[in-house]
Structure 1
């Protein structure tokens, strides 16, 4: 738990006249300029600057408590109030206002506000009966907790201020205690299945012993672990599809005040794609039917400026905004492409979702509005530009079209050769999301030009290393965990640990793969070696934050298989799923999709990339690769006929990448079969062996399992 840190200033306040005690929202005609005076105000922003909405930084009560202390030289003047600039996202927000004075008198009030989008003023009268000093503590309450961008002390009658007493004010932020996600009691709804999952958690099964029997037992354990992920993802998918708009079939942004809205940056980018992937793995008819129809509907309804999508209202059956905003269209389109359609392409390869990706991406650059010395770019927002660097660096290889590399280099020149270098020029560099995208994006571009444009790689090299070196120098704690925000020039940082630490290490490790800078690899190995249970609970109170942290760990473990990291991932994956409800919904917002994304990554690790078609709730498939052989265990509770499918080197076959470098939202490859390889498959149950060509392994080995029980295979790979 982090210690208290304080944002404080002191100012002179003076006395004023009576104000009503009820909480009220300030309006333009509530008090005239002559009737009130803002005595003092302060922007509410933590040193991490981790929360931004509509371009405004704020403090969220889910992360911090806000404490405002008023201290007078004599008694506090009466009849003053605290004015908050309170944020909402077309929803209702709640918080607890707790007043306390030096006598220990406490007055509490539950405050509800909202129903608008953005920030409006909210007034809290200071109780007249309290004695100086008076402390107001704002605490999170309910499922949608308040967030605020400013606090002010306001006098009701400016004419009276000249006769006021001297008052000191201090504003402090206290880290809210988080115990991780609240238990949604999903497992209690499926007790028989949950017992299998608990067996996987409780039983080590001689995992360090040698021999085929121990390998198969571990593969069986992996099968139970993977089964939990597939089963939960299936229920997540069913839960969200039940909430879809009846007319359009599209899913809402969330299940609270934004359930009337579909939008590209949230519903489309973070949730819908992983409903698609869950269907692909567990229900192919649903994947080929309803999921594809949702894509066609979204494309038809929401494309507003060429292919760029805009937010859609179910009740209006029209766009949310009466007039389009180019900045909003580019932001939403970039989020949809990078966070949603690109991960789908990483796993599915060419598909209708790739066609949508390409159409939106071309539209983003067709309308790029920001003029620079290097040519027009889509945005001056580092999140958007970082996303674009990631997308362009991959689809250049996928398509072979030079324009995508040229667009990416335009951004690379802007940040690495111009006056916008992330650690040399940025006063603040977010290593958390909504900022970290630029770090991994620039590193992805460096990988691309290292193979495709050597002169540009030479031009970028020093600047790339300068960025990576400074992040490692001032952005990490002793274990290698990264801070939310760093201030690169003075070398300072906020105290909080970011959940996206692995996203930044993806980029740094990618630079290691190009230049073989050993300290970059050792930095990754250090953080993986130091993963412990105390890492991950700083303020990772949501399942989504666990999902991002675990994704980074899985992706890096795929490259550097350090045992302690695997043990940590196995433990923390359960915290991620903790809030899931019996209906399958996790937390009821678009972040639910990110949980499913990471769960599928974890499941494919436990199956070594294998899967079955058709999937069924009783099937447990697990595998482990040891000493050059893959041990596969498939357990069924009733007869089953289907196919066992093997993975391929998707980075090569789908994207044509020259190197399988770690990248955000990829699905790591484990046991893969290339086109010039074949498999020798030994059926342990029947003592049979046969050779399988790569194409057959990809399309699936046909299996008929006539009896309930456990089936085993040993698979060896050969070059053809």
Structure 2
């Protein structure tokens, strides 16, 4: 599997990873630093210029803080950070439900006039950040905010195209790319086919209209009225990569449901990945940042800059290969992962932080919690570090959480997809709840289905108990002095014993 290839790439063996507490401690310090920078008159988290910036703070730092609090501080999660969301909606909304940059010291928007395109780009970036929270936490206030932004984007959609059954919210991939990734997630979380309808609008427009005329690639900006490119490049920054991920996730739905669209999308998806692998992938396993069709069958490549999201692209390539049954893409992704090496500590963090928003669970970097990069501390770099440390922790724990969290609490989990083993160690007695990963939101190595039943074995009692999955959703109460091991596995039938 690609995950085991990537494990070898990063030199990681699960047995060596006993550093969960120090990683979470480090992340928790970052969380507390930014909580202390809360604006004095509101609950907004501000940067050094007293600004709530949509593209950086709202879209990147704030979601990472929410996820971190979800892991270590539920009081903060349900308290201050929930209030931040209320103040964000109350103070920074400028166009429909879309936010704009806000200066807390002046109690006004940072720009005197509103730029609608910029607001839509920022709103889509914020939606992408909220989707990161939703993929891990499921339903809640942040998912509702995400849904409101996406609904409003399509309500105001005005970009008509002959290729799609309905208008698009924008002709700019910095908007449609990020939104494309959120739509299969929302369809899954809310069991709402309407979001798949929106996703198909975008996919039809690009797979049938744009990509065949643009060298197999989605264009940064496309004029659907003239049916020509305004900016033909594919830039493999967050929005471009999010488009690839979203398109493959929609394709997964079409394959699962056996729809005719799977056959329509497959040729263009294959053409796109062929271009990326043949023209965009360097010998060192990294992707170039920009590819531009030259209208003669070739591509102009920006060879000076690399994409910071190489791992996400390779994981998406691998997933498409599995879905389409084409081992060429699977093997290409595995081979590139074997060649990939982060160049320095900052690239370790940048590369790994991107994995938190990847469509599959990916492995961490062995030295992550030991890395002390020589770079400035700000809302961008701290958000990246938080995301990296959270992804590291989620891999080591298979998504299991323990509350209340303490610095001395050591939590590691292993799973083969059917069974889950949870090991907890502390220096002092601990009592609290274990929360197991639930169905929905993202691909997980192990998840609790509310309609199934599970057998739980405890190292303390040596006894077994059967639990309904719906009951486990509320948490599993645990109490131990220094060590506890639980084994959890799905069972088909049998009497449910008292837990």
**For the residues of structure 1 that align with 2:417 and 2:257, how far apart are their CA atoms?**
36
After TM superposition, the structure 1 = structure 2 runs for residues 168-207 of structure 1, keeping only pairs within 5 Å, are none
Residue 499 of structure 1 pairs with residue 288 of structure 2: no
Match of 1:368 in 2: 157
Cα distance, 1:580 vs. partner?
9.3
Match of 2:216 in 1: 424
**For the residues of structure 2 that align with 1:359 and 1:627, how far apart are their CA atoms?**
34
Cα distance, 1:547 vs. partner?
3.4
Match of 2:318 in 1: 509
Aligned residues, how many? 463
After TM superposition, the structure 1 = structure 2 runs for residues 6-25 of structure 1, keeping only pairs within 5 Å, are none
After TM superposition, the structure 1 = structure 2 runs for residues 519-598 of structure 1, keeping only pairs within 5 Å, are 519-531=328-340, 535-537=341-343, 541=346, 545-548=350-353, 550-551=355-356, 558=362, 569-574=364-369, 577-579=371-373, 587-598=377-388
Match of 1:387 in 2: 178
Match of 1:44 in 2: none
Deviations 1:471-514 (A, max 9, x none): 11222234543222234542453254422012223432332243
Cα distance, 1:316 vs. partner?
1.6
What TM-score do you get using the length of structure 2 for normalisation?
0.83
Match of 1:196 in 2: none
Cα distance, 1:296 vs. partner?
0.7
Q: Report the CA distance shift for 1:442/1:643 in structure 2 as closer, same or farther (over 3 A).
A: closer
Q: Report the CA distance shift for 1:593/1:268 in structure 2 as closer, same or farther (over 3 A).
A: same
Q: Report the CA distance shift for 1:277/1:436 in structure 2 as closer, same or farther (over 3 A).
A: closer
Deviations 1:87-113 (A, max 9, x none): xxxxxxxxxxxxxxxxxxxxxxxxxxx
Cα distance, 1:619 vs. partner?
0.8
2:133 to 299, 324, 344: 344
Deviations 1:374-417 (A, max 9, x none): 45322232221111211223223433444433332222232221
After TM superposition, the structure 1 = structure 2 runs for residues 615-634 of structure 1, keeping only pairs within 5 Å, are 615-625=405-415, 630-634=420-424
**1:579–1:587 CA contact under 8 A, matched in 2:** no
Match of 1:700 in 2: 475
**2:183–2:246 CA contact under 8 A, matched in 1:** no
Residue 240 of structure 1 pairs with residue 46 of structure 2: no
**For the residues of structure 2 that align with 1:277 and 1:626, how far apart are their CA atoms?**
25
Match of 1:404 in 2: 195
Residue 265 of structure 1 pairs with residue 38 of structure 2: no
Cα distance, 1:642 vs. partner?
0.9
Match of 2:484 in 1: 711
Cα distance, 1:360 vs. partner?
1.2
2:450 to 675, 691, 705: 675
Cα distance, 1:555 vs. partner?
6.1
2:98 to 285, 302, 308: 308
Cα distance, 1:550 vs. partner?
4.9
Q: Report the CA distance shift for 1:446/1:691 in structure 2 as closer, same or farther (over 3 A).
A: closer
Deviations 1:420-456 (A, max 9, x none): 5554365532233353333223323323344458233
Q: Report the CA distance shift for 1:275/1:428 in structure 2 as closer, same or farther (over 3 A).
A: same
**1:390–1:441 CA contact under 8 A, matched in 2:** yes
Deviations 1:531-577 (A, max 9, x none): 4xxx1117x7467523345548x86565xxxxxxx5xx3325246x5
Q: Report the CA distance shift for 1:376/1:630 in structure 2 as closer, same or farther (over 3 A).
A: closer
| Greater Cα offset, 315-324 or 500-509 | 500-509
Q: Secondary structure at the match of 2:71?
A: helix
**For the residues of structure 1 that align with 2:118 and 2:463, how far apart are their CA atoms?**
60
Q: Report the CA distance shift for 1:713/1:356 in structure 2 as closer, same or farther (over 3 A).
A: closer
Cα distance, 1:620 vs. partner?
0.7
2:281 to 455, 462, 476: 476
**For the residues of structure 2 that align with 1:482 and 1:556, how far apart are their CA atoms?**
19
Q: Report the CA distance shift for 1:456/1:522 in structure 2 as closer, same or farther (over 3 A).
A: same
**1:544–1:595 CA contact under 8 A, matched in 2:** yes
Residue 415 of structure 1 pairs with residue 203 of structure 2: no
Match of 2:247 in 1: 442
**For the residues of structure 1 that align with 2:192 and 2:459, how far apart are their CA atoms?**
48
- Bigger helix fraction: 2
Q: Report the CA distance shift for 1:457/1:717 in structure 2 as closer, same or farther (over 3 A).
A: closer
**For the residues of structure 2 that align with 1:529 and 1:467, how far apart are their CA atoms?**
22
Cα distance, 1:337 vs. partner?
0.5
Cα distance, 1:371 vs. partner?
3.9
**2:342–2:348 CA contact under 8 A, matched in 1:** no
Match of 2:145 in 1: 356
Deviations 1:202-253 (A, max 9, x none): x99xx7xxxxxxx9xx3xx54x32222322221111000111111112112x
- Bigger strand fraction: 1
**For the residues of structure 1 that align with 2:365 and 2:349, how far apart are their CA atoms?**
17
**1:270–1:591 CA contact under 8 A, matched in 2:** no
1:602 to 392, 413, 423: 392
Q: Secondary structure at the match of 2:473?
A: helix
Q: Secondary structure at the match of 1:435?
A: helix
Q: Secondary structure at the match of 2:465?
A: strand
Specify the structure having the higher radius of gyration (Cα): 1
**For the residues of structure 2 that align with 1:687 and 1:313, how far apart are their CA atoms?**
58
CA RMSD of aligned residues (A): 3.0
**For the residues of structure 1 that align with 2:359 and 2:95, how far apart are their CA atoms?**
36
**For the residues of structure 2 that align with 1:690 and 1:435, how far apart are their CA atoms?**
48
| Greater Cα offset, 597-606 or 436-445 | 436-445
**2:37–2:45 CA contact under 8 A, matched in 1:** yes
1:486 to 291, 305, 325: 291
Residue 299 of structure 1 pairs with residue 89 of structure 2: yes
**For the residues of structure 1 that align with 2:417 and 2:440, how far apart are their CA atoms?**
23
| Greater Cα offset, 488-497 or 299-308 | 488-497
**2:127–2:182 CA contact under 8 A, matched in 1:** yes
**1:633–1:713 CA contact under 8 A, matched in 2:** yes
Residue 690 of structure 1 pairs with residue 499 of structure 2: no
Structure 2 gaps of 5+ residues are: 1-10, 220-231, 494-499
**1:368–1:378 CA contact under 8 A, matched in 2:** yes
Residue 458 of structure 1 pairs with residue 266 of structure 2: no
